[in-house]
Amino acid sequence: MTEAASGAFADLEADELRERFDAENYVAEDEIVTTVLLALRLGKPLLIEGEPGAGKTELAKVLADGFDTDLVRLQCYEGLAAENALYEWNYTKQLLAVQAEEGGVTDGRTVFDEEFLLERPLLEALRGSEEPSVLLIDEVDRADEEFEALLLEVLSDFQISIPELGTVAATAPPIVVITSNRTRKLSDALKRRCLYLHVSPPSFEKEREIVRRKVPQLDPTVAAELCGITQRLREESLLKPPGVAETLDFGRALAMLGDSEEELDRETLRNALGTVLKHAEDVSRVDEELLDDLLDAATRAGPETVEDATD
Amino acid sequence: MPPGDDPADAESGGITATVLDSVVGFVRRLRSEGVVVPADAGIVATRALTELDEPDKAAVRAALKATLVIRQRDAERFEELFDAFWHDLRVDARDVPDVLEGLADAANPPEPYTEDQQLPSRTERGGETDAGGESDESVTETEEQGFQRVTGDRFEESAEEGESVEVASYSPTGKRSRIDVVPSRGGYGLEEAVVRMTGALSTMTGRRRTPATSGRFVDGRRALRGSFETGGVVTSLPESEPQQSEVRGTVLVDVSQSVLDTIERGFLLEWLRLLADHWRSLRVFFFDTEVREVTDSFDRRTVGDVSEALARAEAAWGGGTQIGSAFTTLKRSYPGAVDRRTAVLVVSDGLERGELTDLSEGAAWLSRRAALFLWLNPLATHPEYEPTARGMAAVLPVVDGLFAFATEEDVAEFARQLDRHDRRRLGYRFDPPRPE
């Protein structure tokens, strides 16, 4: 099965993948490109770990858009069970069918037919079109360990066993992306089936490039300044350090406020902190002294680095 | 990674046994360092390597990290060990140069040299050093039986005050002198170490191995073949041991002033004479700013005879140092001196005054071409020694092992390591000298 999965991407080259990422404005380092390429070629699921807001989910979306295919998303949560992830029988429809055609069950027909089957994300991804879809299993660490066990068959063989119907195997195995925020340890059995990628918070240069691409209306100097601020905030001991997503929110907020071409001042920064800090305790940590530091960081990151980048 | 020409490669999907060996060894090493690696990760990692278009260092690192590491906390350890693995892969590339040429050539160049990384200033003498009044006061020179040993109480600013360490005097150009008869102080006690070294090399320089029940090496190809019966799971690791072969060697001796200041000439000649006596074939080259083959002089029974022969051959020593240029000359003028069955030993302090590019390219050529490439450094005798001199830093990534070389104990130590360790784990990097 994995051979079939890899077959669809056997001719895919690193440069082509990088171009697809670029086309979707996704800034990917070489390590990410190589790991994603291997996951595609080997037909193995890609397990991405990292801090919230580091761009893990975005990678799956970019893959779906880049390959112009469907994105099937399974958001995990505590208590997620097989009927929410794999399939479910439409009991109401089954009951009505039995009542409408009394004896219908005995004349060769059965209510355990595809007609009465409700596809949930995993089954939907397996029975998709001829082109492999992208299956995003998001925040798998939120689900229970029992759910991980359920995933094993799907991820190993890209098939699901339905006792009443038999085994449903994928025609075109999906590209599987599993994300985890590392709130709990995942089982080795699950990890063994995946290629592993850890997404770290981006460097200043990478973050500036991301902001430049995602919020093009923002002045480059202001973009560099706000990246300097989020980089400085990550050095603080915060309950939730800002991720790239927060930096982008920050940039969009400035663009919306019409301050996208002016240098950041103290008041704007104070007002916009809510876009990057998501805990009251974190916001309260930003006192006048830290605000000074943040403005210093912004000044240092501003015009000079923009000149460097344009040289 | 392109498939190899070797028909045997077909049975393992284009991956050579050498690469598989390296990956299996790397997995073992990771596990021994506490990294959690899944049971079948070696197989997946090997498959991943076959899928790489351009197996350069970054791509190989990303592939192995994605397949072997499943916990972020292990990533740092992985990074530390990966460099050694990459070096090993380059070393092994010599066995299958066609298959892994890309890997070997893509290896990182040596770390760029910076002024403050240079080995601390030598005990200075001559034109550029006369000004060093203060340091001269703290330097004493002793002369015993034909060699000078310079000691000083300053090695590096971080060195403890009053600590006496050995340093070499650096001679930018040197003054070459004819070799006279070198007095021998008699028994150097080298015979036993040389015999042990010869025995170790006789199983190390060849690549042929035979199956064994308790061999030193994992037979990756047999392991992979066996795993086909168990659905890709390796259930046992067949082992092999090397076959003994005749020892052939080439020794390149840096006879610049800086080396001769720290090594006894009689000791050096006696060691070379014993090598010539025990090895099936030995070629000896002296180099400073030129390269001279002096092989014939070592077919003698005593050090005195050897030095007389050297004098007759008009050999000279004590010049400046251009190691890279010497390697280039060796490559151009004596290409037959180094081949895949030859162990190459370089005796030098690595204080290069020529072009670093020549040195790193020459060393890389030796590394690719020779069966074994060892560097014997007279300065490495001190426990605080760090191979940060520009020349040493340039060649370090490609040498199989760096050893000290100034006394009988040093010869015994590297004979011990050759005897005990796999060639991938040679040198003080893996087996540091033990404090007395």
Handedness of CA A203, A209, A215, A220 (dihedral sign): positive
| B223 in contact with chain A, both atoms CB, cutoff 8 A | no
Q: Which are the contacts of A76, defined by CB distance < 8 A and separation ≥ 6? A: A137, A138, A139, A140, A141, A142, A143, A147
pLDDT > 50? residue B374: yes
Residues B285 and B397 in one domain: yes
| Highest averaged pLDDT of the listed ranges B3-12, B318-327, B390-399 | B390-399
Q: How far is A114 from chain B (nearest CA, A)?
A: 34
pLDDT > 60? residue B104: no
| Cβ contacts of A196 on chain B, cutoff 8 Å | 65-67, 69-70
Question: Which domains can be identified in chain A, with CATH numbers?
Answer: 2-199 (3.40.50.300), 204-310 (no CATH)
- Tell me the mean pLDDT in the region A60-67: 92
Is pLDDT larger for residue B81 or for residue B162?
A: B81
| B63 in contact with chain A, both atoms CB, cutoff 8 A | yes
Interval A138-178: pLDDT, tens = 999 999 888 888 888 788 888 888 888 888 888 888 999 99
| Cβ contacts of B38 on chain A, cutoff 8 Å | 188, 191-192
Six-digit token string for A210: 């991301």
- Residue B433 is assigned to a structural domain of this protein: no
- Residue B407 is assigned to a structural domain of this protein: yes
Residues B353 and B287 in one domain: yes
Q: Which residues pair with B328 in a beta bridge?
A: none
Residues B67 and B91 in one domain: yes
pLDDT > 50? residue B5: no
Q: Which chain A residue shows the shortest CA-CA distance from B42?
A: A192
Residues B26 and B62 in one domain: yes
Q: Which chain A residue shows the shortest CA-CA distance from B74?
A: A198
Separation between Cα atoms, residue B82 and residue B88, nearest integer Å: 10
Separation between Cα atoms, residue A136 and residue A175, nearest integer Å: 8
Interval A221-256: pLDDT, tens = 888 888 989 888 888 888 888 888 889 988 888 888
State chain B's mean pLDDT as an integer: 70
- Residue B220 is assigned to a structural domain of this protein: no
- Residue B230 is assigned to a structural domain of this protein: no
Burial class (CB in 10 A: 0-12, 13-18, 19+), B57: middle
The pLDDT-based confidence of B18 (bands split at 50, 70, 90) is: low
Contact state of B61 with A31 under an 8 Å Cβ cutoff: yes
Residues B370 and B399 in one domain: yes
Q: Which chain B residue shows the shortest CA-CA distance from A194?
A: B67
In this complex, which of A37, A42, A198 lies closest to B47 when CB atoms are compared?
A42
The pLDDT-based confidence of B175 (bands split at 50, 70, 90) is: low
- Whether the model pTM is above 0.90: no
The pLDDT-based confidence of B246 (bands split at 50, 70, 90) is: confident
- Residue B181 is assigned to a structural domain of this protein: no
Interval B273-310: pLDDT, tens = 888 888 888 888 888 777 888 888 777 767 777 777 77
- Number of domains present in the structure of chain B: 3
Contact state of B75 with A38 under an 8 Å Cβ cutoff: no
| Cβ contacts of B47 on chain A, cutoff 8 Å | 42
Return the pLDDT at B190: 81
- Tell me the mean pLDDT in the region A26-30: 87
- Residue B207 is assigned to a structural domain of this protein: no
Is residue A177 a contact partner of residue A36, using CB atoms and an 8 Å limit? no
| B76 in contact with chain A, both atoms CB, cutoff 8 A | no
Residues B398 and B344 in one domain: yes
| B14 in contact with chain A, both atoms CB, cutoff 8 A | no
| Cβ contacts of B63 on chain A, cutoff 8 Å | 34-35, 38
How far apart, in Å, are the Cα atoms of B335 and each of A42, B294, B338, B365? Answer: 43, 16, 6, 11
Element (H, E) at B47: helix B41-50
| B233 in contact with chain A, both atoms CB, cutoff 8 A | no
In this complex, which of B54, B59, B75 lies closest to A198 when CB atoms are compared?
B75
Burial class (CB in 10 A: 0-12, 13-18, 19+), B274: buried
Is pLDDT larger for residue A310 or for residue B355?
A: B355
pLDDT > 70? residue B81: yes
In this complex, which of B40, B61, B66 lies closest to A38 when CB atoms are compared?
B66
Chain A residues bordering chain B (beta-carbon distance below 8 Å): 6, 13-14, 30-31, 34-35, 37-39, 41-42, 44, 49, 182, 188, 191-192, 195-198
Q: How far is A306 from chain B (nearest CA, A)?
A: 27
Return the pLDDT at A138: 92
pLDDT > 80? residue B8: no
Place of tokens 């998303």: A73
Residues B65 and B150 in one domain: no
| Cβ contacts of A44 on chain B, cutoff 8 Å | 44
Separation between Cα atoms, residue A89 and residue A116, nearest integer Å: 6
Is pLDDT larger for residue B193 or for residue A65?
A: A65
pLDDT > 70? residue B180: no
Residues B98 and B125 in one domain: no
- Residue B321 is assigned to a structural domain of this protein: yes
Residues B283 and B156 in one domain: no
ipTM: 0.75
- Tell me the mean pLDDT in the region B196-221: 73
In 3D space, the residue among B339, B333, B291 whose CA is nearest the CA of residue B316 turns out to be B291
Residues in chain B: 436
Six-digit token string for A123: 């089954």
Handedness of CA A207, A212, A218, A220 (dihedral sign): positive
In 3D space, the residue among A10, A13, A42, A9 whose CA is nearest the CA of residue A196 turns out to be A42
- Residue B371 is assigned to a structural domain of this protein: yes
Interface test with B, best of A16, A18, A34 (most B CBs within 10 A): A34
Residues B310 and B393 in one domain: yes
Return the pLDDT at A110: 79
Residues B297 and B410 in one domain: yes
Is residue A279 a contact partner of residue A286, using CB atoms and an 8 Å limit? no
The pLDDT-based confidence of B271 (bands split at 50, 70, 90) is: confident
Residues B160 and B306 in one domain: no
Q: What is the CATH number of the domain that holds B257?
A: 3.40.50.410
Which residue, B105, B133, B149, sits at the end of a domain? B105
- Tell me the mean pLDDT in the region B315-330: 77
Percent of chain B with pLDDT over 70: 64
Domain range for B55 is 7-105
Query: Chains A and B: how many Cβ contacts under 8 Å?
Result: 60
Collapsing DSSP to helix, strand or coil, B310 comes out as helix
